[in-house]
Amino acid sequence: MIRAMTEADWPQVWEFFDEIVRAGETYAYPADLTSEQARALWTMSPPGQTVVLEGADRILGSATMGPNRPGRGSHVGTASFMVSPDARGRGVGRALGEYVVQWHRDQGFRAIQFNAVVETNTAAVRLWQALGFEIVGTVPEAFDSRTHGPVGLHVMHLRLS
């Protein structure tokens, strides 16, 4: 089930948020964020939203979505995704991705832009391509991967209209 994230969900989301950021392969959030700082960054307010995908007994993943830019850029949306490392490869990311695309369609966005997909993040790049996103460009060496060193950041784009 995918539903809006509540305050009570945060401790579970924080657990995998922290693990993913510390792994150093996918997100350029500040190092050593506190739980409260991370919650503020991950919690979107209208017109955006943050959702969780809940399994039988716990939260398996979360996604944020909303306008990529304010004002004259607000017809293009963006999103971020995190799936708990021990719940990967079971369709959680795809379900969240499909939800996000449909949400943008329902809200009348004209496109979705992912601003910073790490080029060595094979799972994410393949998943977004499977959902129809194209790599429109790659910013060279813009991410300092823990294991690969400086690698590119893809800008990925899906036209909705």
Ligand X SMILES: CC(C)(COP(=O)(O)OP(=O)(O)OC[C@H]1O[C@@H](n2cnc3c(N)ncnc32)[C@H](O)[C@@H]1OP(=O)(O)O)[C@@H](O)C(=O)NCCC(=O)NCCS
DSSP assignment of 76-131: EEEEEEEE-GGGTTSSHHHHHHHHHHHHHHHHT-SEEEEEEEETT-HHHHHHHHHT
Q: CB of residue 33 vs ligand X: minimum separation in angstroms? A: 15
Q: Which is nearer to ligand X, 57 or 72 (CB)?
A: 57
**Min separation Cβ 52 and ligand X, Å:** 13
Separation of alpha carbons 13 and 29, rounded Å? 15
Residue with Cβ nearer ligand X (17 or 109): 17
CB of 96 to ligand X, least distance (A): 7
Closest contact distance (angstroms) between CB of 27 and ligand X is 7
Binding residues (CB under 6 A) for ligand X: these are 20, 26, 81-83, 88-94, 114, 117, 121-124, 126-127, 130
Find all residues with CB under 8 Å of 30, minimum gap 6, and list them: 37
Run of H or E residues at 134 = strand 134-145
Residue whose C-beta lies closest to ligand X: 93
Between 52 and 117, name the residue whose CB sits nearer to ligand X.
117
